[in-house]
Amino acid sequence: LCSAAELEQPGESDGILELSDDLAVGTPAAGVFGAEPVIDFEVTPNRPDWLGVAGIARDLAAAGLGTLKTPAIEPIAGTFVSPVSVRLDAPGMCPVFAGRTIRGVRNGPSPDWLKRRLEAIGLRSINRLVDVTNLIAYDRARPLHVYDVAKLVGTEIVVRAGQLARDTGEHEHLIALDGKTYTVDPSMCVISDAMGERPIGLGGVMGGESTGCSDETTDVFIECAWFDPILIAQTGRTLSLNSDAQYRFARGVDTASLVPGIELATKLILDLCGGEPSEIVVTGEAPAAPAAFAFDPARVGSLTGLSLTDDRIAGILTALGFAVERGSSWSVTPPTWRRDAEGPADLVEEVARIEGFDQLPTTPLPDQGAPSRGVLSPRQARVRLARRALAAMGYAEAVTWSFTKQSIAALFGGGDDRLVVENPIAADLDCMRPSALPNLIQAAARNAARGHADAALFEIGPIYLDDQPNGQRTVIAGLVAPRSSRHWGGAPEDALFALKGDLIALLDLLGAPTASLQLVQG
């Protein structure tokens, strides 16, 4: 039993909605209320282009479910120079910022067709200007923002990092469009006016209340920028703020959509609000487009078992937006919205996905009967033997990260920039480890801090000497801390000699020539 308001239908909200007696029980409610079907998409983090209807339609068309319609976005000539300029003081946070002023607009409630489009995806209509930006965000995965020019202090927008207030020395604060006040720190991108002194927005996250558009707005400045995805993701986590813009920028917006995004917004605003556009202002330079790489179409068959012609493979890639140059060797250039495609294996995955994973041939594993010998390789057998032997000697196995801090790695002969992790899970785990000892030492230190100073630890795991395939080695590392005088196991003994004895016993068990061992410094 629901009211009309609870079903988002026009009518009274206090009483129960009465339906026609002609309706049979079981009639779909969507047909009765004229509602459109709702399709939910689970978007993976590597596919930000799916955050717009156009990106989803492209993939559906490539799979054969219709024809992709790509209406051209005609450029609209500006009739005057924009009175609002842009200055980038933080190009690492925002490498490019485009904008355009439109004067003489008439803002107000959106037409019914636009309201219905937004309500169908769960958005509330606000006004024409804001609704246009929301429509483009969901249609083209291109976030935009509009400023009320009359509310700007000065004629220059400055993009910078957060800073301390000069008068108080405290962090800046911003009242965002959601009405909440956020504390801004230097790790965040700030949009400001008043010669860079007043924050008016969090770049790539949310605009400020002070320059928001209302029904009285007559002149607007459209923002269409590109922000560093990692920075925007960190800002969202720090502030617990997840807006539509932040969700898209954190995953990576198409770098080629800046000017087309402004042109599309200009057309819709002129159609709905009227006005006169300025010339487009572009400050900075967008990140370079993805580079081309070689691709052998035979890899599709070798990796998936699919038997496809070269024409079919090229057709799938072209339909997805890849530029394919065929010849004795193929050269494929990913589109600007597909920066996740970095090599041939990614292209094979795309072809298999569009062709259909259900088309992959099923190949049973070869039946070779019962194994005539152990299924472990010699190396695996030695690792198992070493693990059991060390446990029998009283060592506790530690399983630590394969990463360590770059400065610590340098102390153990590593720390090469080629082994630095691009997006580490923690600041002190930013480099592949050249030795297992640093992590064991840190584990022993944590045990000692908790009152367990008598550590005897070992680890069997990988180390990384360089970035080549054979640069990864599996090692055994051990650590022994001296016993205290009150240890239950007896009187303290020299840890060095105890460790030496255990090492020789282990090597002897593994078949090493312990009678002729040599220590080599390296």
Name residues of the chain where pLDDT drops below 70. Answer: 1, 8, 10-13, 167, 368-374, 483-494, 521-522
Interior/surface letters 240-265, b for 16+ CB within 10 angstroms, e for the rest: ebebebbbbbbbbbbbebbbbbbbbb
Contact, 334 vs 290, CB < 8 A? yes
252 and 180 within one domain: yes
Classify residue 459: in a domain, yes or no: yes
Q: Is residue 31 part of a domain?
A: no
Residue 321 CA to residue 206 CA, distance in Å, equals 30
Ordered DSSP codes for 352-395: HHHH-GGGSPP-PPP---S-SS-SS-HHHHHHHHHHHHHHHTTP
With respect to residue 59, please indicate whether it lies within any of the assigned structural domains. no
Q: Is residue 253 part of a domain?
A: yes
Query: Which one-letter DSSP state was computed for residue 476?
Result: E
Does some domain include residue 104?
A: yes
CA distance 293 to 329: 10
* Pairing of the two strands 85-88 and 156-161: parallel
Residues 326 and 457 in one domain: no
Q: How many domains does the chain have?
A: 3
Same domain, 154 and 227: yes
Q: Do both 90 and 176 map to the same domain?
A: yes
342 and 485 share one domain: no
Whether residue 26 lies inside any domain: the answer is no
223 with 304, same domain?
Answer: no
Q: State which residues form the domain around 448.
A: 378-516
Contact between residue 460 and residue 453 where contact means Cβ atoms under 8 Å apart: no
- Digit-coded pLDDT (tens) for 171-202: 899 999 999 999 999 999 999 999 999 999 99
Per the domain annotation, does 369 fall within a domain? no
Report yes or no: 125 and 110 within 8 Å, Cβ to Cβ.
yes
User: Quick check: is 2 in a domain?
Assistant: no
Together in a domain, 461 and 395: yes
Whether residue 301 is found in the same domain as residue 417: no
> pTM for the complete prediction?
0.71
Last residue of a domain, one of 284, 317, 346: 284
Nearest to 135 by CA among 267, 275, 30: 267
- Shared domain check, 243 and 128: yes
CATH number at 322 reads 3.30.56.10
The reply to whether 218 and 241 lie within a common domain is yes
